[in-house]
Amino acid sequence: MTQQRPNFLVIVADDLGFSDLGAFGGEIATPNLDKLAEAGLRFTDFHTASACSPTRSMLLTGTDHHIAGIGTMAEALTPELRGKPGYEGHLNDRVVSVAELLHDAGYRTLLSGKWHLGLTLETSPAARGFERSFALLPGAANHYGFEAPIPPEHKPRLLKTTEGLYAEDGRFVDELTDGFYSSDYFTDRLLGFFDEQHDDARPFFAYLPFSAPHWPLQAPEENVAHYLGRYDAGPEALRAERLARLKQLGLIGEGVEAHPVVARSPEWEALSAEQRAVSARSMEVYAGMVERLDWNVGRVIDYLAERGQLDNTVVLFLSDNGAEGAQLEALPVFGPNLQQVIADYYDNSLDNIGRGNSYVWYGPRWAQAATAPARLYKAHTTEGGIRTVAFVRYPGFARQGEISHAFTTVMDVTPTLLELAGVAHPGREYRGRPVAVPRGTSQLAYLNGTAEQVHADDVVTGWELFGQRAIRQGDWKAVFIPAPIGPDRWQLYDLATDPGETRDLAETEPARLATLLGHWDHYVAETGVIDYRLSFAD
């Protein structure tokens, strides 16, 4: 190619809320991400799957997670799903990753952070196209590398599935370094990979998937200190503040109606003073995690700028799903005896929350302060679970310094990067094996200003996870949320006028709902969705 091919830096935050960043309406100090977002293109209608690993499989392959092997999260595989095509629990051989294709085309491919697409070396990043990688293999882990001395027979499933398991290139890592903190260390390793090949003329594809701010909520005290007392008014006050700022920034319309908070936990006023203090401290730590993540992004951006690489680097930032609002203590799938074991082996005293030997999460009310005006949060196929913060910054795009309300999805990333790199997807065969073609669409024409939409109004997109379902065509969306969180039937929404999903039109628009349900049946047939329900998201 006569024109230099761009570098790619894809940054993923884990469970970050839509309005957590300053550039998206938040009060958390995120100057580095804000600068990138405001200089780039901020998306307000960017969609992922409703949970971590499904989104990551879609991001790296451009196709639906049921095709890519993550029909459900590996942690939630039930006996009736095991062994079924698309439910392997790892990135399967029916797909080819964007890292494999870019590496074949002469790119350096680097990963440092959370993988969550396989726990073995045969399913690790090194096996899927990354020439250098340091990876947290499971879906979460203690951010300080602390492992409480819990006898295996007493360990709840939550803590079993989040034991630290790391791999560097094609080998497991036995010990973490002293002073380990996930966001810092993942950034250190990526910068180290850059330095190892500083004289390499090849362009790079760098993937930096943080495990923050996923629970357990833990952050350096210097960052947490910036938020002491900031959240003492509670989550409803924060929600109102964030909504006002979203409208002021033009990220949502002035007349948008926010969905009411859905939670079985007590309201702020019903909590004791001690309970409010613990809840507010949990949110303070969460904010500290986000601030620390931002600081680390700044380190990478400064590195690229100092070496004259930033303006030739497409920087894409997104969260892998909506904010995490689960009451983990109430989910049977995470037991048994989760609360008691945490009480016995961790120190969740007020002054200790946020350190490595603490273990907390912040619950549904704080999460819905971050997903508002949308309905619900992570694990739900409502907008609060699947519409996420995202932006792209690259001076070569015509649309920069703008806000985009165009519908787009995480499956569009791989086709976009391939087109920018001048690399053709191999189609239905790769290295002698059959593979799926991407279901996503390149955003490039839209980013260059030659198209007004990424997807035409007749394009259909489906979602399913844990028995929760959604199907969308244009601005119309049908949603099925099982009881007890939802009504256990299909609902219909016009997202153009009701992004909060507050007005169910199923009874007044039966023909439109019927059309969408016909599309749902087609989606199931194309992707291999298996009809099942799991109390994981209750």
Question: Is beta strand 468-473 parallel, antiparallel or unpaired with respect to 476-480?
Answer: antiparallel
pLDDT tens for 225-235 read 999 999 999 99
Helix (H) or strand (E) holding 391: strand 390-393
Q: Which tens digit of pLDDT belongs to each residue from 105-134? A: 999 999 999 999 999 999 999 999 999 999
- The partner residues of 462 in beta bridges, in order of sequence, read 471
Q: Return the bridge partners of 463, or none.
A: 470
Q: Which two tokens stand for residue 110?
A: 């680097």
**455 is a catalytic site residue:** no
3-state SS assignment for residue 293:
helix
State the chain's maximal CA–CA distance in angstroms.
67
The rounded distance, in Å, linking the Cα atoms of 308 and 453 is: 32
Alpha-carbon distance of 471 to 469, in angstroms, equals 7
Looking at residue 538, what is its pLDDT? 37
For residue 213, whether the previous peptide bond is cis, meaning omega lies within 30 degrees of 0, is yes
Looking at the whole model, is its pTM more than 0.95? yes
Bridge partner residues of 317 (DSSP)? 11, 391
Say what the pLDDT of residue 532 is.
81
Among 116, 259, 425, 455, the active-site one is: 116
Dihedral sign computed on CA atoms, order 522, 527, 528, 531:
negative
Residue 175 reports pLDDT greater than 80: yes
- Under DSSP, is residue 76 helix (H, G, I), strand (E, B) or coil? helix
Q: What is the pLDDT of residue 171?
A: 97
Q: Is the peptide bond before 434 cis (omega within 30 degrees of 0)?
A: no
485/180 Cα distance (integer angstroms): 38
Half-sphere exposure (CA, 13 Å, Cβ side) for 380?
30
Of the CA atoms within 13 Å of residue 253, those in its CB half-sphere come to: 11
Query: Residues 259-277: pLDDT tens digits?
Result: 999 999 999 999 999 999 9
The architecture CATH gives domain 7-537: 3-Layer(aba) Sandwich (3.40)
Choice among 56-65, 334-343, 395-404, 442-451 with the minimum mean pLDDT: 334-343
Find the distance separating the first CA and the last CA of the chain, reported in whole Å. Answer: 52
Q: What pLDDT score does 537 carry?
A: 41
Beta strands in 23-179 (DSSP E): 41-43, 46-47, 108-114, 132-136, 166-168, 171-173
Q: What is the dihedral of CA 89, 95, 98, 104, to 10 degrees?
A: 120
Q: What's the pLDDT band for 3 if we cut at 50, 70, 90?
A: low
With b for 16 or more beta-carbon neighbours within 10 A and e for fewer, the 275-298 pattern comes to: ebebbbbbbbbbbbbbbbbbbbbb
Q: What is the pLDDT of residue 533?
A: 76
Question: How far is residue 288's CA from residue 224's CA, in Å, rounded to a whole number?
Answer: 4
Q: Is 65 a catalytic residue?
A: no
Residue entry with tokens 């409502």? 382
Which phi and psi (to 5°) does residue 11 adopt?
-115, 125
CA distance 306 to 400: 22
Helical (H) or strand (E) element with 472: strand 468-473
Q: What is the CA angle 60-66-72, rounded to 5? A: 100
- Which of 52, 90, 103, 259 is catalytic? The answer is 52
Count the Cβ atoms, other than its own, within 10 Å of residue 97: 24
Distance CA 234, CA 265 (A): 13
CA distances from 120 to 56, 91, 210 (A): 17, 11, 20
26 φψ region: left (φ > 0), alpha (ψ -120 to 50), beta (else): beta
Smallest CA-to-CA distance from 532 within 441, 466, 443 is with 466
Percent of the chain clearing pLDDT 90 (strictly above): 93
Question: Which residue ranges make up each domain of the chain?
Answer: 7-537
Q: Which one-letter amino acid corresponds to residue 104?
A: D
Is 320 within 8 Å of 388 (Cβ atoms)? Answer: yes
Q: What pLDDT score was predicted for residue 1?
A: 33
- CA atoms of 415 and 75, how far apart (whole Å): 29
Flag the least confident range among 278-282, 348-352, 458-462, 529-533: 529-533
Has residue 519 got a pLDDT over 60?
A: yes
Q: Are 281 and 350 in contact (CB under 8 A)?
A: yes
